[in-house]
């Protein structure tokens, strides 16, 4: 019997959308991005070509579904109005001087203030991409400390994915799997710590992006050997 957590169940449903509903997923990208950056049904109608009635339904459904994100955004804007800056990941501060002199959401609010708010809010969320930098640096330090500096090499980072060259042995792959996943799951910061939305990650191994095998977190040497055909008979 296999037991999964509620978070794993929800993540599985979300991740299945790409396979089950590829057309709807593609169509959803334009309105999702527009609404995420404070667009309205007007934006969906004028820029994405949705009929007005449908655009209004999409806008309402989006804000109902992402209510917590909306509250987070509004909280950030209130902070900008009061302090003239917003704090991003790891203490980085961005000044918002125009907002500090205005009242957001009023009919008289200048466009420049609204634009500054959207940009600053985006900076807050995007800045947490630095979590990948933190994870790769911490992983590399542990690789060096273990004496694997010539066997496991960090080579690239793309948005939320780190890439390594790893020696093709079960022991080195297990070390990378155990270490990298632990560092990717780091959330020791009050701004991102959450019991409801944990940090998750997994390691995929292969010679190219189209030939990857996903390893389970904390896989044993035997599980790694069984997952990678070239290791058959190693133990």
Tokens of 203: 């390691």
Q: Which pLDDT tens digit goes with each residue over 7-37?
A: 666 667 777 777 888 888 888 888 998 898 8
Per-residue pLDDT tens for 118-146? Answer: 899 999 999 999 999 999 999 999 999 99
DSSP 233: T
DSSP state of 91: G
- The predicted model scores a pTM of 0.78
C-alpha 36/C-alpha 33 separation (Å) is: 5
Instruction: From 214, 12, 46, select the one nearest 2 (Cα to Cα).
Output: 12
Eight-state DSSP code of residue 21: -
More confident call, 160 vs 220: 220
For the CA atoms of 190, 182, 135, 225, what is the dihedral angle to 10 degrees?
-160
pLDDT tens profile 69-79: 899 999 999 99
Domains of the chain, start order: 17-127 (1.10.150.20), 130-231 (no CATH)
Sequence-separated (6 or more) residues with CB below 8 Å from residue 222: 235
Mean per-residue pLDDT over the chain, rounded: 89
pLDDT tens-place string over residues 31-48: 998 898 888 999 999 988
> What kind and span of H or E run contains 200?
none
Count, residues in the chain: 235
What is the pLDDT, as a whole number, of residue 234?
A: 44
């Amino acid at each position: 019997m296999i037991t999964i957590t509620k978070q794993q169940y929800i993540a599985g449903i979300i991740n299945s959308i790409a396979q089950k509903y590829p057309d709807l997923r593609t169509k959803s990208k334009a309105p999702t991005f527009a609404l995420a950056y404070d667009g309205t049904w007007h934006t969906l109608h004028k820029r994405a070509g949705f009929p007005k009635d449908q655009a209004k339904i999409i806008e309402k459904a989006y804000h109902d579904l992402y209510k917590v994100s909306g509250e987070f955004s509004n909280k950030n804007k209130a902070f900008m109005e009061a302090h003239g800056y917003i704090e991003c990941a790891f203490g980085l501060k961005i000044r918002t001087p125009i907002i500090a002199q205005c009242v957001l959401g009023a009919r008289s609010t200048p466009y420049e203030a609204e634009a500054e708010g959207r940009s600053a809010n985006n900076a807050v969320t995007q800045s947490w991409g630095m979590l990948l930098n933190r994870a790769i640096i911490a992983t590399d330090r542990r690789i060096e400390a273990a004496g694997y500096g010539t066997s496991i090499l960090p080579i690239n980072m793309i948005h939320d994915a780190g890439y390594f060259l790893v020696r093709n042995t079960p022991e080195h792959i297990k070390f990378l799997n155990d270490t990298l996943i632990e560092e990717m799951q780091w959330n020791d910061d009050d701004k991102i710590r959450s019991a409801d939305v944990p940090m998750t990650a997994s390691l995929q191994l292969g010679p190219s992006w189209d030939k990857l095998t996903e390893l389970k977190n904390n896989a044993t040497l035997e599980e790694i050997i069984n997952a990678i055909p070239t290791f058959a008979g190693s133990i």
